Structure formats: C-alpha cells, structure tokens
Structure 1
C-alpha cells in the first residue's frame, strides 16, 4: 500500500483508478494511484460499504487492516432516492457533497457534485448506454463527465472499463477538486448506481 503520512491525504490527483473487490458481506474498493506511464500504481485508500445498510455510509481507510480512516461519505437521510451524501475528512470536517439527480437519472444517471468554490453536474456521456443499462445487466463500458456549472469545463471524468469486475479510470483536470471528494464521488457512482 502506498504510504500516506499520518493525517495527510493527497488533496489533488490528476488521475487515479478505482477497483471493486468481491466479498460476501461488504462492497470493498481499492483506490490506486496512476504511475507516470499511466499504469496502475500502489493502493492509496481502501473503501468499504456494508451491504443492506439502513443509512448509506462508505469509509475510506489508509491501510489494508482498516485501522486508520482518512475520509468518508454518508447519506444525510435514510432511504431517500435523492439523498445528499456529505463527504468529510477523518476529523469529520466537510470536504463537499454529492447528490443523485433522481428525476434525470430515470433515463441517464446524473449527479450534483459540490465542494469549496466548485459546483459541478455529472451525467453519463452516452444516453443510449444509459437506457440500455436499465434493462440489461451487462458489463458495459460507460463514461461520466462532471462539468463546472459556471464555465462548462470538465472537472472530473470517470470511465468504467469493459470487464466483469467494476474498474474505473478517474481523471481530474480541475485542481480545485480535492482527491478525497473525487474518490468519494467515483466510488459513489458504482455503489449507488442501481438506486
């Protein structure tokens, strides 16, 4: 695992990878750094979500043993189809939020994303794949783009690879977007996609 000094988390990464691990009782995700050549590097964080939880919460840890939480996201309300998820650091200080746009997501999954000095909106790039995924559960490759609400510039993209296991390449060209908020949104895309 990549060593992150106690109390420190990278605040911006231009690119990283998210891989889901298959387990019986929890959804587990590895957040991996991108090497300069574009290949996968070491693990930056491990995320874990209990299945069938009454109130959605995902905690990100700096170590494989899950002894050192570094950030998390949690739903403000239980059982809300348009729930707001607050992203906080290890001390519980807010980093930002994301929220599924329930109405728009009926045809094409869509999310609001916000942080200090940043308001963005993300949708699946390909509307046809968005509709097909509602009826056929195949490991389609799909792509989300999050754009700044004021400038229209892309602040984050998440691309699911065509594979049986969920694997994503996440690109964050906007330096205002904290890595922890971007990683929470990337995991949220997978964890909340079926809702």
Structure 2
C-alpha cells in the first residue's frame, strides 16, 4: 500500500513527529482493529514557513512528492488552501471560516464531487481549548455535506504527541484531500 492508495482510503491515522526545525506527519493505514499499517505518506513543514505550504512524500525517505497543500495568499488569515497532486493538478481546497471559528473552529472543504463544512464536535471542548494551551485536549472534527451526510471525521487521541484517527465514510472524499485537511487541522489550528 502506497500514497496512491490514499485516494480511496476510508480510515487512516495521522501522527505528528516533532523535531527541532520541522514538523513531520506520518499518514498510516489502519487495520480493522485500529492497528497501524505501513506509512502511506509523510508530510513535512519547516517551522518558519509551514503555514504557507506542506508537502506529502511517498515514504519516509521524502524523495518523491505525491501531493501538497499551499495557501493561495501568503500571510492571509482567511486564505484558501489548494490541495494538488504530484503534477500540480488541483484535487481539492479548504479554508477556515474565521467568523464562525471565534467560538468553534469551522472549515469549508471542497473536492471532486464533495463539498463539506467541518466543525469541532464539542463547543465545550472548543471553549476550554481556547482557555488553556497547556492541556492537550482531544478535539474532534466532523465534516458533513449540505445534506448532513458525513464526509470525514478527524479524532484526536489522548497522547503527548498528536495522533488523529481519520475516517472517510464510503471513501467519497479523496483520501489525499482528507489527509491534507487532517494535517492542516493540526498545523494551522493554533486557536
């Protein structure tokens, strides 16, 4: 199983690896009992410039880029982020809804045949999370289409290093876009 298998995946884990100068995220397949499989993709962001672009590579060697996301405008809080495949072809986009996000983080997500809005599941957790940086509260996001059908969920597990379980019901959303969105929820969340 490799990064190209991400397109139709329905369940995977995103794990953050902290190093001095870069953040790395592992995308791993999940087995039926939640056991982690091989690395499907590896994302990397430099600490200083990370908000503008994150590239996903085929494996831990980080030689072959397979998809990425990038802000259309630099240093724009309301920027739209485009997700592109290895050739630079757009496969999706997402943006934060800043007005709604003051209380509860809200994102708009678009990809082939799918349009969805994602929100923090719990308003109570959302408020507590804003009051306390020190406690790594588990936060969960649910994305639904205009008919209220679930498109994607990202659930943060209790751990010192961030770990998320991402579910894409029915595989309607391209798993590469789901992986980009899941990493963005962590990397760009900062309040």
What is the alpha-carbon distance in structure 1 between the residues aligned to residue 186 and residue 6 of structure 2? 22
1:86 paired with 2:82, answer: yes
Look up the match of 2:100: 104
Classify 1:55/1:175 alpha carbon distance in 2 versus 1 (closer, same or farther; 3 Å). Answer: closer
Look up the match of 1:163: 159
What is the alpha-carbon distance in structure 2 between the residues aligned to residue 76 and residue 103 of structure 1? 20
Q: Of 175, 189, 194, which aligns to 2:190?
A: 194
Q: For residue 176 of structure 2, give the secondary structure of its aligned residue in structure 1.
A: helix
Report if the CA contact (8 A) 2:103-2:126 is conserved: yes
Look up the match of 1:28: 24
Look up the match of 1:114: 110
| Structure 1 runs (4+) greater than 4 angstroms displaced | none
Aligned ranges for residues 168-179 of structure 1 at < 5 Å? 168-179=164-175
1:12 paired with 2:8, answer: yes
In terms of fraction of residues, the more helix-rich structure is 2
Report if the CA contact (8 A) 2:39-2:60 is conserved: no
What is the alpha-carbon distance in structure 1 between the residues aligned to residue 121 and residue 30 of structure 2? 23
CA drift of 1:54 comes to 7.7
1:144 paired with 2:115, answer: no
Look up the match of 1:49: 45
Give the length in aligned residue pairs.
Answer: 190
What TM-score do the two structures reach when normalised by structure 1?
0.93
CA drift of 1:35 comes to 1.2
Question: Structure 2 stretches of 5 or more lacking a match?
Answer: none
CA drift of 1:40 comes to 1.2
